[in-house]
Amino acid sequence: MTMQAHSNSTPDTKVPLQILLFVDQRPASREQIRQIRDYLKDRSAECPFELEVIDVGEQPYLAEHYRLVATPTLIKLHPEPRQTLTGSDLIVQLKSWWPRWQRSVEEFIANTPQPSENPVSQIGHSTEVIKLSDEIFRLNRENEDLKAQLHFKDQIISMLAHDLRNPLTAASIAIETLEIAHKQADGQPSRLTPQMTANLLKHGRTQIRTIDRMITDILQAARGTSAELHIHPEKLDLGVLCQDVMSDLSDRVQAKQQRLKTDIPSDLPIVYADAERVRQVIVNILDNAIKYTPDHGTIQVSILHRTTQKVQVSICDNGPGVPLENRDRIFEDHYRLQRDAAQEGYGIGLSLCQRIVRAHYGQIWVDSGLDQGSCFHFTLPVFRS
């Protein structure tokens, strides 16, 4: 929006006094802006000027370009030197400086037979340059993001092919063993005892759950951090769920000869949560604890009725721990510690855990020190009838 006031000038004369007025849409600013415009309108007969009104909300790049710290702000662009007026007494400042601006215009006209190019007429050009710079910056950022996503997908494909092989092989062996025993029986008593059959079925089911969890994590990561996380909360016995998860992962604990200690009170209150989502959280954290705890190490799983509204789950290990500078970042999407570069996994487990816990209005955090083990904690709401 431009206000032009020409005095003693022909239509071809370029106006030497160029003023920018930066405004915003706050109700408190409107009266001050009105006073400025009225004052300048009354001065139109005294000195030729051109006023450009700029809304910082619509053109923030210009506010950045002129390094504004507040609005409304008046900037005298021409004649040089440039001058900026701002503050709660802006109209008082304008009234004080106007005579000097008028004299500077008279001196400029007297000393310049051919007025220089109109600075305000160049605002459009500089604005376009700034816009283009911003657009180039934005496109570069998007390009880098796309490259990162493609790189991540390449990693996912290679690691998925590697990581799926182990549980698939284990599940296949269990199923094939059951199949062979069934064929060998052929009317004869099976060589597998009922207990062996039950163990094979349990082992196969555990491996299939592992595969399902890996695929779920991948799909969740592919949807990005902005994707809405749907949960279906219901009354849930958290102690029973923890025991179930520990039972599913017991083969891995035994394979490393680790000790799994528990402190799960029998009188825990019922929580209000999505059972499958909470299972994902416990499995992810416990899976990491098993992975990083050394052979013959100890893992502690405990549940605490922390407040009348919250129940806290804690899973601790005596592994290498998390460096202090990385404690916040381990919950970021795709973030992995440098030491884990050769480890299995995708760097999305803890990020997904955080999203699930926050969707339940809970908190998740880690207490850890380098070479001192890690304790991951999260809270869930108590069910209220």
- For residue 307, give the CATH number of its domain: 3.30.565.10
Say yes or no: 25 and 107 in one domain.
yes
pLDDT in tens, 68-83: 877 888 898 888 888 8
The number of folded domains in the chain is 3
Report field, pTM of the whole predicted structure over 0.75: no
Which residue stretches of the chain have pLDDT < 50? Answer: 2, 4, 6-13, 115, 225-227, 334-347
Say yes or no: 170 and 74 in one domain.
no
Domain stops at, among 222, 251, 266 = 222
Say yes or no: 45 and 76 in one domain.
yes
Residues 6+ apart with CB under 8 A from 132: none
Say yes or no: 101 and 162 in one domain.
no
At 297 the pLDDT is 93
Domain stops at, among 131, 161, 192 = 131
Say yes or no: 240 and 377 in one domain.
yes
At 199 the pLDDT is 81
Say yes or no: 242 and 306 in one domain.
yes
CA–CA gap between residue 364 and residue 232 (Å, rounded): 19
Say yes or no: 257 and 279 in one domain.
yes
Domain stops at, among 62, 96, 131 = 131
Say yes or no: 24 and 115 in one domain.
yes
- Residue 42 is part of which domain span? 2-131
Say yes or no: 247 and 369 in one domain.
yes
Say yes or no: 91 and 215 in one domain.
no
Domain membership of residue 227 (yes or no) is no
At 6 the pLDDT is 43
Say yes or no: 48 and 9 in one domain.
yes
At 90 the pLDDT is 86
CA–CA gap between residue 350 and residue 331 (Å, rounded): 5
At 225 the pLDDT is 44
